[in-house]
Homo-oligomer: A and B are copies of this chain.
Amino acid sequence: MDIATSPRKRTGNGAARHHDADEIGLDALVGHAGYAVRRFQIWIFQDFIKTLADVDIRPTQYSVMTVIGANPGLSQMAVAKRLGIERARLVHLLDSLESRRLVKRIKSKTDRRSHALHLTAQGETALAKFKRLAAEHERHVEEKIGKENREHLLRILAGFT
């Protein structure tokens, strides 16, 4: 757990003068959950992207493949709704994953408007590797905020998944 917890001194000066990086006060921002959550989310995504850089998979791509892997045959609408992604955006995400032969769209026979989504055999193998790397990333999170805090965070935010 190596969070930089240097104290932020409020200066409260009215005139222009030199500020050291650490003496710039955040004022009302310290009381806003959204500010801290946003900074944390940026850190966590950057670590995820770095940890999975070798396989070139980003958080959203990982979430799409994971849900398709666990629920084969889903339609694009179903995946989009479940993950809170715009269906227009999912089209491009799937184009990219399909061109890499990780996912395939299969024409549904019951509803010819929709596609049933599946991982390819190659996609299954790849996803297993992605999951191992994602677990490594999750250990980084644990090191950063602590085991207990990470578990508490997951409980607090369970309703948003």
Contacts and interface: CB of A to CB of B under 8 A. Distances in A.
A: interface residue count bin = 35 or more
A33 B153 contact: yes
A10 interface: yes
Copies held by the complex: 2
Indicate the member of A66, A131, A160 with the most B CB atoms within 10 Å.
A160
B67 A19 contact: no
Contacts of A14: 72
Interface in A60-110: 63, 66-67, 69-74, 78, 81-82, 84, 106, 108
Nearest to A12: B70
Contact of A153 (B12, B72, B78, B156): B156
A27 interface: yes
A161 B63 contact: no
Contacts of A12: 70
A57 interface: no
Interface in A18-54: 19, 21, 24-45, 48
A71 B134 CA distance: 40
Contact of A161 (B29, B66, B69, B106): B29
